[in-house]
């Protein structure tokens, strides 16, 4: 009886060994290289379109049959082929921000080839809505667009700004966002009318709309003394502080 039991154990071990060996034989190689496709800004808005050109991945040699590329659109949860495997020509297509869902997404561009494990690269971004005249904008909790203050339009780009009048004159309640100079927050144009633009001194001196200028030290001193004792003076920070949330 012991003899047969030993034979059974040996047969079972041999079967297990053979199974492990088969798994090793089925292992596929991975594609070489890294997928590149340009860049996506950290903040985007509905309607933004980015032209994607994928490259960088290959089989064991760059002279082998061309790999295929795909793009994954997380906003609509959809895969699209940029180029089929073995097809010559660029692997390209447009990536469109199709919705104004105010959340973070991760899009992905990947390479594939028969008999190989694929590889991919990704980019994270946040969808924003710069409108202040809607309850569904990225900035909520502000008084703009609901009867507070006055507004004016910059004739250079038709951008509307809200302003406040005091005994010392008018004050803009938003950061200037004229695109003729400067650069936006995080280098993302979608943030332009949400956070305004950064200007150097020379740019700022020439950036204000017609009829407006940068405030001087004397303007700030006059503003500080314009109200009666106990009166609240509303500037940009005074109007917004503690009330506004983003996205």
Flag whether pLDDT at 7 surpasses 60.
no
Flag whether pLDDT at 170 surpasses 60.
yes
Q: Which of 233, 237, 240 is nearest to 168 (CA)?
A: 233
CA distances from 122 to 34, 54, 68, 108 (A): 11, 12, 17, 4
Q: Which of 69, 63, 64 is nearest to 85 (CA)?
A: 69
Tens digits of per-residue pLDDT, 69-104? 999 999 999 999 999 999 999 999 999 999 998 999
pLDDT of residue 244: 75
The Cα 55–Cα 47 span in angstroms is: 25
Flag whether pLDDT at 136 surpasses 90.
no
pLDDT of residue 10: 41
The pLDDT > 70 percentage for the chain reads 76
Tell me which of 43 and 64 has the higher pLDDT: 43
Flag whether pLDDT at 61 surpasses 70.
yes
pLDDT of residue 207: 96
Task: Report whether 41 contacts 188 (CB < 8 A).
Answer: yes
What's the average model confidence in pLDDT over 174-193? 95
pLDDT of residue 149: 60
Report domain extents, the chain: 32-128, 139-246
| HSE-CB of 208 using CA atoms within 13 angstroms | 10
The Cα 227–Cα 167 span in angstroms is: 8
Tell me which of 151 and 30 has the higher pLDDT: 30
Torsional class of 125: left (φ above 0), alpha (ψ -120 to 50), beta (otherwise): beta
Tell me which of 149 and 31 has the higher pLDDT: 31
The CATH code that applies to domain 32-128 is 2.60.40.730
132-136, 152-156, 165-169: least confidently modelled range = 165-169
């Amino acid at each position: 009886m012991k003899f047969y039991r030993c034979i059974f154990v040996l047969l079972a071990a041999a079967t297990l060994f053979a199974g492990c060996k088969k798994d090793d034989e089925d292992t596929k190689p991975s594609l070489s290289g890294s997928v590149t496709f340009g860049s996506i800004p950290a903040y985007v808005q509905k309607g933004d379109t980015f032209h994607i050109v994928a490259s960088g991945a290959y089989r064991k040699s760059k002279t082998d049959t061309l790999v295929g590329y795909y793009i994954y659109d997380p906003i609509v949860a959809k895969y699209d082929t940029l180029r089929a495997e073995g097809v010559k020509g660029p692997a390209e297509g447009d990536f469109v921000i199709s919705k104004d869902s105010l959340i973070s997404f991760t899009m992905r561009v990947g390479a594939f080839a028969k008999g190989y494990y694929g590889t991919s690269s990704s980019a994270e971004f946040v969808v924003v809505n710069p409108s202040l005249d809607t309850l569904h904008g990225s900035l909520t909790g502000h008084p703009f667009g609901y009867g507070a203050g006055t507004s004016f339009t910059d004739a250079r780009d038709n951008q509307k700004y809200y302003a406040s009048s005091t005994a010392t004159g008018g004050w803009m309640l938003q950061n200037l966002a004229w695109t003729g100079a400067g650069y936006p927050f995080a280098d993302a144009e979608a943030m332009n009318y949400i956070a305004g633009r950064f200007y150097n001194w020379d740019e700022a001196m020439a950036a204000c709309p017609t009829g407006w200028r940068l405030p001087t030290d004397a303007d700030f001193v006059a503003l500080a003394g314009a109200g009666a004792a106990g009166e609240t003076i509303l500037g940009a920070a005074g109007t917004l502080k503690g009330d506004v949330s983003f996205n």
